A and B are shown apart, each in its own frame.
Chain A
Amino acid sequence: QVQLQESGPGLVKPSETLSLTCTVSGASISSDYWSWVRQPPGKGLEWIGYIYYNVNTHYNPSLKSRVTISVDTSKKQFSLKLRSVTAADTAVYYCAREGRYSGYDFADFWGQGTLVTVSS
């Protein structure tokens, strides 16, 4: 069974960098796509981006200038860095595995989510 677990600080100061890590078990981190999705309190879901084995990344253009997603295969982890955060970046951040079948792409396994609050 694929399992994902987010970790990282729950509080980040404005203008600083939000850094989260997702640890993967039960799947090969080098052969799948891995996503980050966020959800502001009481609001809907926003796709941040995904990565395939450090060779293919896609980011949401709304965040592209501030986001980096990377993979550490030795640790079976992938990471999110979001620079220059503001209060608008306060959200629950989820990591997910992008399953692929018959040409379709879908997030079939998710972490439990971690709340990151941006505040001084």
Chain B
Amino acid sequence: DIQMTQSPSSLSASVGDRVTITCRASQSISTYLNWYQQKVGRAPKLLIYGASTLQGGVPSRFSGSGSGTDFSLTISSLQPEDFATYYCQQSYETPLTFGGGTKVDIK
């Protein structure tokens, strides 16, 4: 199985901050990398697929980059509704695997 490692596991930030979350795959996955946002008690929401393609309706302050084994999710200016847990997922091969999550909370 491809292991996905996210860092940090949690971070505290303020509204307006620029936030970057990283995700590393245990082997090359090209750009088969998705990012999801999950709020407490809610289902995950797709933010980005193909490492950098924004899902429809997702604000442009979210962006993704990377290829091979190293990826990042950036929120350019953190908004109150962005406080949540973020997961990366590889879709290069089954079993599909998720990172452990990064919890973004209010400083």
Q: Do A and B come from one complex?
A: yes
A contact set with B: CB distance below 8 Å: 35, 37, 44-47, 58-62, 94, 96, 99, 101-102, 104-108, 110-113
| Cβ-defined contact, A104 with B43, below 8 A | no
Which of B16-24, B66-74, B76-84, B90-98 touches A? B90-98
Q: A61-B1, A104-B49, A107-B36 given; name 10 further pairs at CB < 8 Å.
A: A44-B87, A44-B99, A44-B100, A44-B101, A45-B38, A60-B94, A105-B91, A106-B34, A106-B91, A112-B43
B contact set with A: CB distance below 8 Å: 1, 31-32, 34, 36, 38, 42-46, 49-50, 53, 55, 87, 89, 91, 94-101
Number of A-B contacts defined by CB within 8 Å: 67
Rounded to whole Å, the gap between the CB of A84 and the closest CB of chain B is: 20
Q: Which residues of the partner chain B approach A35 to less than 8 Å between Cβ atoms?
A: 96
| Cβ-defined contact, B95 with A62, below 8 A | yes
Q: Which residues of the partner chain B approach A99 to less than 8 Å between Cβ atoms?
A: 46, 49
Partner of A106, one of B38, B46, B87, B94: B46
Q: Which residues of the partner chain B approach A59 to less than 8 Å between Cβ atoms?
A: 95
A95 to B89, CA, bound (A): 16
A102 to B50, CA, bound (A): 9
| Cβ-defined contact, B44 with A45, below 8 A | yes
Partner of B95, one of A44, A61, A108: A61
Partner of B98, one of A47, A58, A96, A104: A47
| Cβ-defined contact, A47 with B49, below 8 A | no
Q: Which residues of the partner chain B approach A46 to less than 8 Å between Cβ atoms?
A: 98
| Cβ-defined contact, B43 with A94, below 8 A | yes
A35 to B1, CA, bound (A): 18
A100 to B17, CA, bound (A): 33
Q: Which residues of the partner chain A approach B49 to less than 8 Å between Cβ atoms?
A: 99, 101, 104, 106, 108
Contact A107/B50 with A45-B87, A47-B97 known, Cβ cut-off 8 Å? no
Interface hub of A44, A60, A111 (most chain B Cβ within 10 A) = A44
